[in-house]
Amino acid sequence: MVELPRRRFLSSAPVFLGGASILSACAPGAESQGVEAVAAQTRLAGADVDVAGRPAVRPAVGPAVRPAVRTEGNPDGSREVSPADLALGLELVRYATLAPSSHNTQCWKFAIESAAITILPDPLRRCPAVDPDDHHVFVSLGCATENLIHAAWAHGRSAEAVFDRSREAIRVTLAPTQAAASPLFRAIAARQCTRDDYDSQPLSIEELGLLERAGTSDDVRILLITGRPAMERVLDFVVQANTAQMADAAFVKELKSWIRFNGAAARRTGDGLYSATTGHPTIPTWLGELAFGWFFTPKSENDKVAGQLRSSAGIAVFVGKSADKASWVDVGRCYERFALQATALGIRNALLNQPIEVRAVRPQFAAAIGLPGQRPDLVVRFGRGPVMPSSLRRTVQDVLV
């Protein structure tokens, strides 16, 4: 998906519109600080307010917030969730929602039971243009699953995730254990997709080894590409696919619908792609919608992508063992572990998925990176760089079934 083009569009807007006068009134300043404060509260344990500034769902509220659906009864035959289990469940769901999701759609729903949490896709938050087969939806659910598991351990629960093919949902069963807050758990609140140039410096062998281990499982492989000629070949495919996406009216329309051009819009929805996360001025929604098409040009976007990729230390390509929903969840879990491990090491990452999103490009891309006949799942660049503003999240209440 081309979230990067947005950045070029925003950076070009002041020039086209005749200087700073229009945008100076809309400069991020206090507005962005307000959004950042809300984002920080969402990421703090026991936050007092939600992303819309309303009192947040606190673990302590217990029975006042009852999940509507519990898929299975308790061991004693009842279907009640105790206040303590509900409080814990709400807190674990909060951590899960800090995961990445395609276009920040937050395409998940959670059902809290007494000793389990089920993570379901939210069909209202699909993106049919960029993700017609729901690949990104299930990868996103995998990312949320991984966060939930690390949070569970930190809160004294072992967690085992199983994909339920009949319901197309992930059921995470919880059991008491010794609490252990892993470095990956501690990285959950700080993790972000950092869409800026990095510092072009290579990572050490040890760092690459840690990232590779974090992003690999029995069923998911990761290819680390750090040689410059090989990275240039990947860039060729990114540019080719980016150009195709920008010529696709349905793709552009869908992308635009998820962009939040200013802090007020971002806070109102608590989702979507807030412009400041790419480090650019915020502008009124009417202006953003009007001007978006003027600056959404293949050349400027491809130049931007090239700069970002060339400033990276390397590229990681994730590939699951099969092209089905269970495997996509596994890929999401591995990517999230990779991202959390990177965050723990002070390393940034961002997705450049264009070559796996455009069907016509995907097979050639797979063959070029040594995976003929397979479906690469994610393309991620990584390296050291600045921290960018945070994206927002909806409330925990919003994501309960």
The CB-of-114 to ligand FMN minimum distance in angstroms stands at: 29
> What are the Cα distances from residue 98, in Å, to 18, 151, 168, 268?
39, 11, 21, 18
The CB-of-101 to ligand FMN minimum distance in angstroms stands at: 5
The CB-of-368 to ligand FMN minimum distance in angstroms stands at: 18
**Beta bridge partners of residue 383, listed in sequence order:** 348
Retrieve residue 397's tokens: 């209440």
**Closer by beta carbon to ligand FMN, 193 or else 224:** 193
The CB-of-384 to ligand FMN minimum distance in angstroms stands at: 17
Retrieve residue 381's tokens: 């660049």
Cα separation, 54 vs 48, whole angstroms: 8
The CB-of-63 to ligand FMN minimum distance in angstroms stands at: 31
> What are the Cα distances from residue 58, in Å, to 81, 255, 363?
16, 33, 47
Cα separation, 222 vs 241, whole angstroms: 21
Burial 96-119 (b: 16+ CB within 10 A, else e): bbbbbbbbbbbbbbbbbbbbbbbb
**Closer by beta carbon to ligand FMN, 67 or else 215:** 215
The CB-of-318 to ligand FMN minimum distance in angstroms stands at: 10
**Closer by beta carbon to ligand FMN, 139 or else 208:** 139
**Closer by beta carbon to ligand FMN, 101 or else 302:** 101
The CB-of-3 to ligand FMN minimum distance in angstroms stands at: 4
Is the Cβ–Cβ distance between 285 and 258 less than 8 Å? no
Return phi, psi of residue 157, to 5°: -135, 125
Q: How many CB atoms lie within 10 A of CB 208?
A: 18
Q: Which single residue is written with the structure tokens 């965050």?
A: 343
Would you tell me which residues interact with ligand FMN (CB under 6 A)? 1, 3-4, 100-104, 136, 139-140, 143, 192-193, 195, 273, 350-351, 353, 391
Q: Which single residue is written with the structure tokens 């660049």?
A: 381
**Closer by beta carbon to ligand FMN, 151 or else 350:** 350
**Closer by beta carbon to ligand FMN, 157 or else 304:** 304
**Closer by beta carbon to ligand FMN, 114 or else 277:** 277
**Closer by beta carbon to ligand FMN, 118 or else 390:** 390
The CB-of-373 to ligand FMN minimum distance in angstroms stands at: 22
Cα separation, 162 vs 159, whole angstroms: 10
Cα separation, 372 vs 364, whole angstroms: 8
Cα separation, 398 vs 56, whole angstroms: 11
Please say whether the dihedral angle defined by the alpha carbons of residues 52, 68, 273 and 265, taken in this order, is positive or negative: negative
The CB-of-204 to ligand FMN minimum distance in angstroms stands at: 25
The CB-of-269 to ligand FMN minimum distance in angstroms stands at: 12
Is the Cβ–Cβ distance between 246 and 301 less than 8 Å? yes
**Closer by beta carbon to ligand FMN, 114 or else 242:** 242
Nearest to 244 by CA among 164, 364, 157: 364
**Closer by beta carbon to ligand FMN, 3 or else 85:** 3
Cα separation, 157 vs 113, whole angstroms: 14
Retrieve residue 57's tokens: 């769902």
